[in-house]
Amino acid sequence: MDSNVLSIKNLRVSVGDKEILKGVTITVKSGEIHALMGPNGTGKSTLAHTIIGSLRYKVNSGEIMINDINLKDLQVYERARAGLFVAFQEPVSVQGLRFINYLRTAYTSLHPEERLEYKKFVEEVKELLAYFGLDSSFIDRGLNDGLSGGEKKRMEALQMLILKPKFIILDEIDSGLDIDALKVVSKAIGRAKENGAGIIIITHYQRILDYIKPDYVHVLINGRIAESGSGDLAKLIEERGYEYYRGGEIDAKVE
Amino acid sequence: MQKWNENEVEEVKKLNEIKYDFVTNVKPAYQVQKGISRSVIEEMSREKKEPDWMRNIRLKALEIFLSKPVPTWGPDLSELNFDEITYYIKPEDRKANNWEDVPKEIKDTFDKLGVPEMEKKYLAGSVAQLQSEGVYSRLKKQWEDKGVIFMDMDSALQKYPDIVREHFGKVVPPSDNKFAALNTAAWSGGSFLYIPRGVSLDLPVQAYFRMNGALEGQFERTMIIAEPGASVHYIEGCTAPTYSQYSLHAAIVEVYVKEGSKVRYTSVQNWSDNIINGPTKRAWVEKNGRMEWVQGSLGSKITMTYPSSILRGEYASTSNLNVALGIGPVWKDNGAKVIHAAPNTSSKVVAKSISGKGGMSVYRGQLRINPGAYNSKASVQCDALILDDISKSNTYPHNEILEESASFSHEASVGKISEEQVDYLMSRGIREEDARSLIVLGFLDDVLKEIPLEYSIEFNKLVKLEMNKYGAVG
Ligand SMILES: Nc1ncnc2c1ncn2[C@@H]1O[C@H](COP(=O)(O)OP(=O)(O)OP(=O)(O)O)[C@@H](O)[C@H]1O
Ligand SMILES: [Mg+2]
């Protein structure tokens, strides 16, 4: 298994005039699962978008590296080619862009060295659709077009598996999923981990973490990591709520 | 869909030059002096050895042409100078029914365009025209045996003067518009397709129109007659090399969809950027007949085209699917015209346009449901996608619903590519230009999926090329 490192160091990010991330440091290695939790509006999605390089998010200082490559000057597609994958909290739709055409273009862009056998690829996608409990007709539907919330999340998880990224950021992949879907998606995350991916799961709920146990849990409060700990921290958070981090204790909890 | 990077774009650009942007070196067998006049028309008609009645139709149409003003309600046509155009250029004396008999220069031209290859693989028959005349036509024997006729229009006039005379200028009279008058006066070439009663062609036929020079006029005349119960798919392809000076293309297409017959007319136009294109295409659709227009319009400097269906018999129906790309300094004026003149008729219009790099795309439509056209149904959908802030799109729908029991819906949308969409696709490793192309092709998918696969693959490539023509869009 490759051993890769995604390191986010002291990252400060603003959207418009407002600083959202105020110095975030997280290091993820191949095969690790990190959970990132925190109240609404605290900057979790901002972190995901910033890592993939969306231009709307301005990095004021700090850095994002994969191994010894600084992602600073890389465009979004180059970051994807460097091995990053983000499952977005709200995946956008593109009317008329058939899923399979899109996915094939993505795959050949990400893995130009492979000669893609189209038939095999389609079979693989169909198998995965079945695995996620989706009808094979999804292959020809417009990208995310008219899909229900839970269906979109399952399609994101499917892409996570098929595109074989090195690092995966799942932004609330569990929101909107029914119990069965939650189980499959958790299993899929397990598969990605076995394939050697390093994974950040952004979530509000303990439940997904019951199925797929994180190695580390980070709590993001007001753009700062207020606490980091082992997998058990998630339960504690659920018991205590974020109230616990209000006031002067924040600095004390930082590792 | 293939992945598409800069190298490939370059490659296809080269291919495009070989494929479309080249000139055929032929010394015309015959051509008239430039400009249009009674004597030019008479000379053409004499050269073609036409019957008197046709010459008279031409001369009458010339008067109408001269009396009508150049339309000013749409794109700027002030550049058009009717005196500097050459109206009739015959590249070759012979007409061949076999590619081996086509002179080498001309055969090479159509080889480059892939016409013989397409014919072999995919078509029941094909007609090829260079400049003003058909140079080749062929229909597979099995269809000839069933009485199908497919040939260039001039030959049809010689061989089947009665059928031509009976149908000529009825669906599109010369008084319809200035370009229609011009075509009727100066027409040359085009194709004639006749399908006898009850015969249905399971493969399409194709007519390919190739222009060659600057300040050249191409005025082909096409007539399609589907007898009761017949069915056919006709495909039209158009290309031309690029010049700094314009050339004028103004065709007339008359389609007779008789009782219970079905005609699909697919037009894939990939004009070079110096072409001014103003064809008039119209179908008469009788009881239980069906007319389908599918049109993809790429390139050209100015295009004004509004394929029309007149639903004359009960339960006649039509669909009109139109894609227009207005990218660069061009004006695309596209639309559809439907007249419901009988009860229980139905129509569906879908028009999609793209504007980019300063381009202008217009939807100009007319839909009328006559009083007494009980229970007729019509829908019009026009969607515009504008790629940047310097490009424009306009919609001029003209709807007259004069029958109370009719139902009618009209939807229009104007959109932009959202940066979130581009980001999403890029986050999956896709380059920005490719992401934008994919979004555009997705937008067009409703219509593109109606174009035969062999053509839509090419069309997809051409759309990507168009988008990259003036540098990446966005
Ligand atoms: N494009 C944007 N324009 C304006 N404000 C933004 C933008 N993106 C994020 N913000 C603001 O930044 C803050 C952090 O948002 P973010 O989406 O990162 O939060 P989050 O932690 O993911 O919240 P949630 O748990 O609700 O998903 C919020 O106050 C949000 O309103
Ligand atoms: Mg969020």
Q: 3-class secondary structure for chain B?
A: CCCCCHHHHHHHHHHHHHHCCCCCCCCCCEECCCCCCHHHHHHHHHHCCCCHHHHHHHHHHHHHHHHCCCCCCCCCCCCCCCCCCECCEECCCCCECCHHHCCHHHHHHHHHCCHHHHHHHHCCEEEEEECCEEEEEEECHHHHHCCCEEEEHHHHHHHCHHHHHHHCCCCCCHHHCHHHHHHHHHCCCCEEEEECCCCECCCCEEEEEECCCCCEEECCEEEEEECCCCEEEEEEEEECCCCCCCEEECCEEEEEECCCCEEEEEEEEEECCCEEECCEEEEEECCCCEEEEEEEEEECCEEEECCEEEECCCCCEEEEEEEEEEECCCEEEECCEEEECCCCCEEEEEEEEEEECCCEEEEEEEEEECCCCCCCEEEEEEEEEECCCCCEEEEEEEEEECCCCCEEEEEEEEEECCHHHHHHHHCCCCCHHHHHHHHHHHHHHHHHCCCCHHHHHHHHHHHHHHHHHCECCC
Interfacial B residues in 387-426 facing A (CB < 8 Å): 418-421, 423-426
pLDDT score for A253: 45
Q: Which of B360, B220, B337 is nearest to B278 (CA)?
A: B220
Q: Which region among A63-67, A142-146, B20-24 has the lowest average model confidence (pLDDT)?
A: B20-24
Q: Which residue of B has its CA nearest to A163?
A: B428
Q: Which of A42, A49, A175 to mutate to test the pocket of ligand 1 (most atoms within 8 A of CB)?
A: A42
CB pairs under 8 A between A and B: 93
Q: Which of A68, A132, A140 is nearest to A97 (CA)?
A: A140
pLDDT score for A25: 97
Question: Does A220 fall in a domain?
Answer: yes
The minimum CA-CA distance between A170 and chain B, rounded to whole Å, is: 13
Two structure tokens written together for B328: 């660069």
Residues 6+ apart with CB under 8 A from B365: B306, B335, B336, B337, B349, B351, B380, B382, B396, B397, B398, B399
Asked if B203 has any chain A CB less than 8 Å from its own CB, the reply is no
pLDDT score for A255: 40
Angle between helices A99-110 and A149-162 (to 10 degrees): 30
CB half-sphere exposure, A111, CA atoms < 13 A: 13
Question: Does A236 fall in a domain?
Answer: yes
Q: Is the dihedral of CA B427, B432, B438, B441 positive or negative?
A: positive
Asked if A91 has any chain B CB less than 8 Å from its own CB, the reply is yes
Q: Which of A135, A242, A58, A224 is nearest to A233 (CA)?
A: A242
pLDDT score for A247: 62
pLDDT score for B207: 96
CB A12 within 8 A of CB A19: yes
Cβ distance B442 to A108 less than 8 Å, yes or no, reads: no
Q: How many domains does chain A have?
A: 1
Q: Which chain B residues have a beta carbon less than 8 Å from that of A171?
A: none
Q: How far is the CA of A149 from the centre of ligand 2 (A)?
A: 15
What's the CA gap between B352 and B382, in Å, rounded?
Answer: 6
Q: Which CATH number do you get for residue A12? A: 3.40.50.300
- Residues around ion ligand 2, judged by CB within 5 A, are A 44-45, 89
Q: How far is the CA of A171 from the centre of ligand 2 (A)?
A: 7
Which protein residues touch ligand 1 with a CB less than 6 Å away? A 15-16, 20, 38, 40-46, 56, 89
Task: Strands of A56-197 (E only): list them.
Answer: 58-66, 69-70, 84-87, 94-98, 142-143, 167-171
Residues 6+ apart with CB under 8 A from B59: B38, B41, B42, B185
Ligand lying nearest the CA atom of residue A22: 1
Q: Which residue of B has its CA nearest to A103?
A: B428
Its domain, for residue A55, covers: 5-92+165-246
What's the CA gap between B58 and B39, in Å, rounded?
Answer: 11
Question: Does A227 fall in a domain?
Answer: yes
Two structure tokens written together for B221: 């005349």
Question: Does A115 fall in a domain?
Answer: no
pLDDT score for B322: 95
pLDDT score for A1: 57
What's the CA gap between A230 and A102, in Å, rounded?
Answer: 38
The 3-state DSSP class for residue A212 equals coil
Question: Does A87 fall in a domain?
Answer: yes
Interface probe for A, chosen from B421, B424, B451 (most Cβ of A below 10 Å), is B424
CB half-sphere exposure, B289, CA atoms < 13 A: 31
pLDDT, one tens digit for every residue, chain B (474 residues): 334 456 655 666 666 666 788 899 989 999 999 999 999 999 999 999 999 999 999 999 999 999 999 999 999 999 999 999 999 999 998 899 999 999 999 999 999 999 999 999 999 999 999 999 999 999 999 999 999 999 999 999 999 999 999 999 999 999 999 999 999 999 999 999 999 999 999 999 999 999 999 999 999 999 999 999 999 999 999 999 988 899 999 999 999 999 999 999 999 999 998 999 999 999 999 999 999 999 999 989 999 999 999 999 999 999 999 999 999 999 999 999 999 999 999 999 999 999 999 999 999 999 999 999 999 999 999 999 999 999 999 999 999 999 999 999 999 999 999 999 999 999 999 999 899 999 999 999 989 888 888 888 888 888 888 887 766 554
Question: Does A62 fall in a domain?
Answer: yes
Assign A193 a pLDDT band (cuts: 50, 70, 90): very high
Q: Which chain A residues have a beta carbon less than 8 Å from that of B440?
A: none
Q: Which of A40, A89, A204, A222 to mutate to test the pocket of ligand 1 (most atoms within 8 A of CB)?
A: A40
Question: Does A149 fall in a domain?
Answer: no
Question: Does A72 fall in a domain?
Answer: yes
DSSP A116: -
pLDDT score for B19: 79
Closest Cβ–Cβ partner in A54, A56, A94 for B421: A94
Q: Which of A17, A21, A44, A52 to mutate to test the pocket of ligand 1 (most atoms within 8 A of CB)?
A: A44
Instruction: Give the pLDDT confidence of A89-109 residue by residue, as tens digits.
Output: 999 999 999 999 999 999 999
Q: What is the ipTM of this complex?
A: 0.95
Q: Which residue of B has its CA nearest to A93?
A: B421
pLDDT score for A252: 42
Cβ distance A92 to B418 less than 8 Å, yes or no, reads: yes
Q: How far is the CA of A41 from the centre of ligand 2 (A)?
A: 7
pLDDT score for B10: 65
Asked if A102 has any chain B CB less than 8 Å from its own CB, the reply is yes
Q: Which residues make beta-bridge pairs with B333?
A: B304, B362
